[in-house]
Chain A
Amino acid sequence: SQTIHQWPATLVQPVGSPLSLECTVEGTSNPNLYWYRQAAGRGLQLLFYSVGIGQISSEVPQNLSASRPQDRQFILSSKKLLLSDSGFYLCAWSVMVGPYEQYFGPGTRLTVT
């Protein structure tokens, strides 16, 4: 069966510090991978998606970036965090072909102070 991992689970970082969140998927090959952000009381905002190694599409201009160094690894980064980067970050995967249902990781709660 497929599983998706995210770490860390929670993170408190000062403004201006760097960020690295990691997501890995097990039990599947060539998944589509996604990063979403969920701000308090709001819906999910798609940040990045990837259809393969090194292929990243950005949905929202911001100071965040994403990378996919391996087939089942997706990393969300920032060089300098802003207060507005606080939120709940969710990684998800889906199969390449199909009804596009996505499967989500447990999330990372980021607080920028």
Chain B
Amino acid sequence: GNSVTQMEGPVTLSEEAFLTINCTYTATGYPSLFWYVQYPGEGLQLLLKATKADDKGSNKGFEATYRKETTSFHLEKGSVQVSDSAVYFCATVNQAGTALIFGKGTTLSVSS
């Protein structure tokens, strides 16, 4: 079935540093891909999405491009802030199209 694999954390950065969190997918066809963010003690929030190959999702300075050739959907941000500290989840749709499948999450910690 479909799956995603994301880099293990934690990722520790200084404020204004460049961020990359890797995510690769295995899927039948080209299902939609998502990045979610979870702040401490809260539910998940949709950060961005891409619904087809070569799409770029973007939101709040974060970007990710759906790359068919490398089966990847890496999350990037040019200049992180302390407020970006959270857990980030990569996700895709299961093969039946009934639910999302999430990666294990990557913890990002940004210090000032």
By a beta-carbon cutoff of 8 Å, the part of chain A in contact with chain B is 6, 32, 34, 42-44, 46, 49, 51, 57, 59, 90, 92, 99-107, 109
Contact = CB atoms under 8 A, between A and B. Distances in A.
Looking at chain B, what size class is its interface with the partner chain?
20 to 34
Given A99-B32, A101-B32, 8 more contacts: A6-B43, A43-B103, A43-B105, A59-B99, A90-B44, A101-B46, A105-B43, A106-B42
Interface of B: 32, 34, 36, 41-46, 49, 51, 89, 93, 97-105
A92 B89 CA distance: 15
Contacts of B100: 46, 100, 102
Contacts of A107: 41-43
* Interface of A, helix, strand, loop or mixed by DSSP: strand
A48 to B, nearest CB: 10
Given A44-B102, A49-B98, A106 B32 contact: no
Given A99-B51, A101-B34, A101-B49, A57 B44 contact: no
Given A49-B99, A101-B34, A90 B49 contact: no
A80 B46 CA distance: 34
21 contacts: A32-B99, A43-B102, A43-B103, A43-B104, A43-B105, A46-B99, A46-B101, A49-B98, A57-B98, A59-B99, A92-B44, A99-B49, A99-B51, A100-B93, A101-B34, A101-B46, A102-B99, A104-B45, A105-B43, A107-B42, A109-B41
Contacts of B99: 32, 34, 46, 49, 59, 100, 102
A95 B35 CA distance: 18
A103 B43 CA distance: 9
Given A49-B98, A101-B34, A106 B49 contact: no
B17 to A, nearest CB: 24
A43 B103 CA distance: 6
6 nearest A-B pairs in the assembled complex, by CB-CB distance: A104-B43, A43-B104, A99-B32, A104-B44, A44-B102, A99-B51
